[in-house]
Amino acid sequence: MKKGIYLAVLFLNGISLIAQTNNEQTFKEIYKAALTNAKCYTWLDYLSNDIGPRLSGSANAEKAVQYTKSQLETLGLDKVYLQEVMVPKWVRGEKETAYILNYKTKMNVPICALGGSVATPKNGLTAEVIEVHTIAELESLGSKIKGKIVFFNRPMDPENIETFKSYGGCVDQRYAGAMEASKYGAVGTIVRSMNLRLDDFPHTGTQSYGDIPKSDYIPTAAISTNGAELLSKTLKENPKLQFYFKQSCKQMEDVLSYNVIGEIKGSEHPEKIMIVGGHLDSWDLADGSHDDGAGVVQSMEVLKILKNIGYKPKNTIRVVLFMNEENGGRGGAKYEELAKTNHENHIFALESDSGGFSPRGFSFETDDANFNKIVSWKYLFEPYLIHSFVKGHGGSDIAPLTSKTLVKAGLKPDSQRYFDYHHASNDTFDAINKRELELGAATMASLMYLMDQNGIEKSN
C-alpha cells in the first residue's frame, strides 16, 4: 500500500473509531439521564391521576394540552406552540348495562359502547343473538341475521408471539362489525373484547358505520372476554336466549382542540425536521397510561434528555403530541396538512404508541438502504437489551406524513401485557413501571441521536 493511502486509511479508521466511541459514550449518557434524572414518570402521574381520561373534545383533553405545553415550556426548547385542529366529540353517557336472558334467568355481563356507536332505544334493546366468528360467516348467514343481535366472538390468536399481530387479525369485528351486520338487518352487535386473557373488563375502541345511511346505524358494544365465553356457552345450551343492552352514547358537534409541539432548532440543517411523538387523547374508560400517556411523556423525555446531556442536534427535532388518534386521527392529518402548506421537509418520524413496557426494538417504514444502515447500529443498542429491528408499521399519528425522504419508526415495547389494558378501565398509572417507561424514552432518544448524526440515505 502506498504511504499516502495507508495514512488515509489509518485516518479514516481513526475517525470511524472515534465516532464509534462517541456513540457508545452518548448512549451511556442518554440511558443514565433517563434512569437517574427523568421526569416522564412524574409527568405521567399527573396526566393520569390529576387529569385522567382524555377523550378528544373533553375538558380533560384540553387540560392535557395546557399541562403538556406548560411542561414543555420548562425544558428550554427553542419553540413551544399549539396547532389548532377540529376534533370529533363522542360521549358515552350513562354506564352501559347488559344481561343474558336465559329462560327466566338474568345474567349480567360487563359491556361498554364502542366509540362512535349510537345509543340503544332509551329503555334498551332486547333480541335473540346469533354468534359469528368472521364477517364472511355473517355474510353467509344472510337473512338469518334480520332482527338479531350479532355476536362477533373470534378470540385473539394466542399463538402469535407478537400480540399486535393477533390484534390485527381480530379488530375487523370491532371496526366494521356493526356496519356489516346492519346491511343484513341486525338490530345491534356485541363484539368480544380485543383481549388475550379471560377477565371482566370490556375494551372499547373505535368503530365505523362507513357509508351506510344514518338511519341504518345500529348500536354496538364490546363485551368482556369472560362475558363472551358465558354468552357463547349459554347460546349453545339455549339458541333462543335473549340479550339485553342499554347505552346512551352520542356523537356531538366537533370541538376545537390542539396538537402540542415543542422544538429544538437544528444547528446545521434547521430546515430538516425530525419528529418524535405520541397521542395526547385517550379513551374515556381509564386514564390511558399505556395508551398513550406513556408515548406522550416518553416523547417529551426524549427532548429533555437531549437537552440534559447538552446535545445540539444538526437537524430540527420536534416533539409532537397528537390529538385524536383514537377516534378520528385528526391531529395526525392536520399536522401533515400544515407541514405541506409550510413546505416543511421531514426526514424522520418516530412514534411511541404501543405501551410503556420494556422496550425491545423498533419497526421501520423505509427502504432497504436506510433499513440496512439502521440495522448496522444494532450493536450499540444490544447492551441495553434492545434487539428487535424489523420492517413494519411506524404509528397511526405519523401515518399521514408523506415527505419523500422520510423514514418512519415505531418503538416496539414488550407486547405481552398490552392487550390486558388496551382501551379498558384498567389502563391506569399503577400498571406502569417507572424503569420500563424510562428505558423506552432512552431507547427513543438514542435512535433520534443516531438518525440526527448519520442522516437519512436518499431514497430512489
| Interacting residues toward a copy of itself by CB under 8 A | 31-32, 35-36, 158-159, 161-163, 196-197, 358, 360, 382-385, 387-388, 414, 416-417, 420, 433-436, 439
> Which of 102/358 has CB closer to a copy of itself?
358
**How are beta strands 220-223 and 188-192 bridged, if at all?**
parallel
Q: Check if the beta carbon of residue 114 is closer than 8 Å to that of residue 207.
A: yes
> Which of 159/253 has CB closer to a copy of itself?
159
> Which of 9/198 has CB closer to a copy of itself?
198
Q: How far is the CB of 336 from a copy of itself (least distance, A)?
A: 32
Which residues, including other chains, have CB under 8 Å from residue 442's CB and lie 6 or more apart? 30, 31, 33, 34, 35, 305, 384
- Partners of residue 99 on adjacent β-strands: 108, 244
CA dihedral 335, 339, 344, 350 (to 10 degrees): 30
Active-site residue, selected from the candidate residues 325, 326, 351, 365 = 325
End-to-end CA distance of the chain: 35
Q: How far is the CB of 197 from a copy of itself (least distance, A)?
A: 6
- Cα separation, 302 vs 294, in Å, equals 12
SS3 state of residue 410: strand
SS3 state of residue 180: helix
> Which of 156/339 has CB closer to a copy of itself?
156
Cell 411542561, located at residue: 71
Clarify whether 337 is annotated catalytic.
no
> Which of 197/458 has CB closer to a copy of itself?
197
Cell 356523537, located at residue: 251
Q: How far is the CB of 149 from a copy of itself (least distance, A)?
A: 29
What are the backbone angles phi and psi of residue 200, rounded to the nearest 5°?
Answer: -105, 15
Q: How far is the CB of 357 from a copy of itself (least distance, A)?
A: 8
Q: How far is the CB of 420 from a copy of itself (least distance, A)?
A: 7
* CA-only gyration radius of the chain, Å: 24
- Cα separation, 368 vs 364, in Å, equals 10
List residues with catalytic annotation: 325
